[in-house]
């Protein structure tokens, strides 16, 4: 097939003029003063419009909970293997 009409540089550039990245708008949390996205709960203090909406885990707790499931799954696998070996005997 043959191209019907070549897109001009101006047409291409006009179309791409909306592809630029835009800066995110941030507002200060009224409770703790951290910058957050508007209309969202603060991930630092757990408040929305000055009212508590949830508990926020500290960074140490978050890291610890991420590691626990891996260790727990490894322990669970070894326990199931031990149980299955006991049943076979």
Per-residue pLDDT tens digits for 42-77: 888 888 988 888 777 766 665 666 665 556 656 666
SS3 content of the chain, % helix, strand, coil (to 5): 45, 10, 50
pTM of the model: 0.46
Q: Is the pLDDT of residue 79 over 80?
A: no
Provide the 10 A C-beta neighbour count for residue 29. Answer: 19
Task: Judge contact between 50 and 31, C-beta under 8 A.
Answer: yes
Q: Where are the domains of the chain?
A: 24-56, 57-89
Task: Judge contact between 56 and 43, C-beta under 8 A.
Answer: yes
């Amino acid at each position: 097939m043959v191209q019907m009409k070549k897109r001009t540089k101006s047409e291409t550039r006009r179309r791409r003029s909306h592809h630029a990245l835009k800066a995110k708008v941030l507002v200060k949390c009224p409770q703790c003063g951290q910058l957050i996205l508007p209309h969202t709960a603060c991930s630092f203090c757990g408040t929305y419009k000055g009212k508590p909406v949830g508990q926020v885990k500290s960074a140490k707790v978050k890291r610890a909970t991420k590691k626990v499931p891996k260790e727990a799954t490894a322990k669970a696998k070894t326990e199931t293997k031990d149980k299955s070996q006991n049943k076979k005997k």
